[in-house]
Structure 1
């Protein structure tokens, strides 16, 4: 949930008055990441270890999530699916772990688990007419400071090495934006 997509989803949920549970890989920075995600609007922040279902119950979070979003795959997706309400969809949009999730048959039968894939490129190809309005809506939220994405800016011509070093940092929580000086070309 501390990825850029996760941060945006948390903020959109907050704007829509939906509760969100942020699940993050614990890379030793939970004490910093947890409070940050809460300021963005996360209702709960959990480390992606052990039983997420038991953690939610321990925190008195009794409503089961109605939607899961996963970009990690493997056991992380299995733990996430275990928390979901019956028939609630788990949407997978990536597999950063490089491992396919493998669910027990009981998830499929008794919980009527639904797993769906999401491919942004395919969605954009089939929804070309919706994209300008969607981007305009997002831009309005950004301009109104209701949607924030953390980033660090570097000048392409003079700070490329610093940007590359920053990109290689483990546990980095910001996106890197390379700025290009005006080259005199108008489009």
Structure 2
């Protein structure tokens, strides 16, 4: 060990691999030397890890707007050798494909990132390494993005500590990967527009969607009844059984709404309605809302404008609002209410009262299948497509 510090560092640079396998005994025997020359062995070991760990990972990349199967490609990216400052290096465990991701790739979404970009608004990650100024996160922590558009369709990423929220490690990673968009949308719509009490009623279309399923489960936990409108389909009875198992009060195909007038009249008039379809089909939902009630629109799966009969505004004073989870996140980026919301949802999971939507795990190499099945026109599978990584 009788060498100059400059010689030692030169040797480290040339022989990193062999030095990184120094055993504990060797490092302990070097401790005195390290203190003498003000050389931090923790930094030394971190540099060894940084220069020998894998630095190439897979990502999906979009270079132009268009149909996902045509414009999305699988690429290899290289991450920095050294993680510094407040940076966090994390691997992506799972990332669901949502309709908003498809719309972003198509160029029809409100948020339009610059090219090239990595799609993906949500997911769950595991921290692998942190910079020297990171305060709250450590290796092994589970995290989710604080804001949308972080680009989760890749096997690993480097971002700032402030871009993440730490989540409990006891939550199933697949469920955790789907918690930030659809369940949070359902929670906010139930909480923010109309003060509801035990026994009140919500009516919603698109009830079989991930948002619809979350609405059913959260409402049931709060003692709120739900009328759930779905599209006709061959497996309707199976779908009804499934939604009722989540806590749905009524599940009715859209064409049968008027036929079930007596059944609907047994419940109080809904004070709140959630519209994820729009188009003319939303008229049945609006017609059911009580005078002075509120309809919240969060989607437009019909790809048509929302048609509102003028009488609903003049004679029944129905209130129409819009909800966008991305806007709420931006406005409440560091609001404690966000943690309160997540804590409630995780507690619901622990109590066995919330389950993720039916899903399929898709390796990133098969991304075209996931993107195709996640498109609204193909969405009759009722299964959330979730990208997973080695």
**CA separation in 2, counterparts of 1:102 and 1:161?**
34
* Equivalenced residues, count: 179
Report how far residue 53 of structure 1 moved.
5.3
Match of 2:297 among 71, 79, 92: 92
Task: Tell me the secondary structure at the aligned position of residue 176 of structure 1.
Answer: strand
1:27 paired residue number: 233
Task: Tell me the secondary structure at the aligned position of residue 171 of structure 1.
Answer: helix
Asked if the contact 1:19/1:42 (under 8 Å) is kept, the reply is yes
2:381 paired residue number: 172
In the alignment, does 2:313 pair up with 1:104?
no
Report how far residue 163 of structure 1 moved.
4.2
How do 1:135-174 and structure 2 match up within 5 A? 135-149=342-356, 150-157=358-365, 160=367, 163=370, 167=374, 170-174=379-383
1:185 paired residue number: none
Match of 2:218 among 12, 20, 27: 12
Which deviates the most, 65-74 or 29-38? 29-38
**CA separation in 1, counterparts of 2:374 and 2:305?**
26
**CA separation in 2, counterparts of 1:30 and 1:72?**
18
Task: Tell me the secondary structure at the aligned position of residue 280 of structure 2.
Answer: helix
1:45 paired residue number: 251
Which deviates the most, 163-172 or 21-30? 163-172
**CA separation in 2, counterparts of 1:101 and 1:162?**
31
Greater strand fraction, Structure 1 or Structure 2: 2
Asked if the contact 1:152/1:174 (under 8 Å) is kept, the reply is yes
Task: Tell me the secondary structure at the aligned position of residue 99 of structure 1.
Answer: coil
Report how far residue 143 of structure 1 moved.
3.3
2:270 paired residue number: 65
Which deviates the most, 170-179 or 57-66? 57-66
Compare CA radii of gyration and give the structure with the larger one: 2
Asked if the contact 1:22/1:45 (under 8 Å) is kept, the reply is yes
Q: TM-score, normalised by structure 1?
A: 0.85
> For each residue in 1:156-180, what CA deviation from the matched residue of structure 2 results, as whole angstroms up to 9, or x when unmatched?
24x5466457547551112111111
**CA separation in 1, counterparts of 2:282 and 2:360?**
30
Q: TM-score, normalised by structure 2?
A: 0.43
**More RCO (CA 8 Å, sep 6+):** 1
Unaligned runs of 5+ in 1: 182-187
> For each residue in 1:10-36, what CA deviation from the matched residue of structure 2 results, as whole angstroms up to 9, or x when unmatched?
011111111101111113321111111
Asked if the contact 2:278/2:299 (under 8 Å) is kept, the reply is yes
1:184 paired residue number: none
> For each residue in 1:89-148, what CA deviation from the matched residue of structure 2 results, as whole angstroms up to 9, or x when unmatched?
000011111111222222112211111111111111112212223123212222332111
RMSD: 2.1
2:338 paired residue number: 131
**CA separation in 1, counterparts of 2:314 and 2:308?**
11
Change (3 A) 1:57 1:11: same
What stretches of structure 1 move > 4 A for 4+ residues in a row?
159-170
Change (3 A) 1:58 1:141: closer
